Amino acid sequence: MGWLSDALRFETSHVSDLWSGIKKDPKRLVLGMDPASTWAWNKVLGRDDQPLVNQLGGPTEQNYENAEARGIDTGAGRTLHGIAGTIAGAYGGQAAGGALSWAGGGTGGGNWAQYAKLAQGAMSQPSGAAPVAGSPPINDPRTARTGPMSTSMPNAAPGPVSTGNPGLDQRRRQMLSRVLMGAR
């Protein structure tokens, strides 16, 4: 058989396994079919269910084994689902990078090394110290075009009111407000 027909036969087998799992236990539609929700509900309810799909909604290793037992070549299906996982990972990584771009003080870009450097510097700056070398001042994303963020935000979480270091306290308040307001 051809590559495309193998892929279609595998997808038919995967959907058949999925449908069989749902018919056998319809509660799975509510209790979850992916590994994370299956694990959580197993812990809560004392069940021993196996995931019906992988974390991206694709086939599990058991689905591949079932297809091979039916005489279906799974090479095409593995390739296509590998490509789908790569694409999903790229989009997810791009979205996460955009959501975390506030750490770089801008509206996009940045990398994990920059974020780690900013976080380390924000938590260890001595009083009156300049921002971490190479990093712009942190501004409120909602007012970034109109001016710097106000430093009058009270502590938003339980804990000490002040560290006794005004520069560090200000930087922590700014970072906390960014986390609580979300990236824009």
Residue that terminates a domain, selected from 99, 130, 154: 99
Which pTM does this prediction carry?
A: 0.52
50 and 123 fall within a common domain: no
- Looking at the fold, whether 72 and 132 belong to one and the same domain comes out as no
User: For residue 69, how many C-alpha atoms fall within 13 Å in the half-sphere facing its CB?
Assistant: 9
pLDDT of residue 90: 80
pLDDT one-digit tens code per residue, 61-90: 999 999 999 999 999 999 999 898 888 888
The reported pLDDT for the residue numbered 129 is: 47
Q: Which stretches in the chain have pLDDT values below 70?
A: 1, 97-163, 181-184
Exposure letters 136-165 (e unless 16+ CB within 10 A, then b): eebbbbeebeeeebeeeeeeeeeeeeeeee
- List Cβ neighbours of 160 (8 Å cut-off, separation of 6 or more): none
Number of domains composing the chain: 2
Identify the domain containing residue 82 by its residue range. Answer: 3-99
Q: Does 82 share its domain with 47?
A: yes
Residues 95, 137, single domain; the answer is no
Of 45, 64, 99, the residue that ends a domain is 99
Answer yes or no: do 146 and 170 share one domain: yes
* pLDDT score, position 153: 44
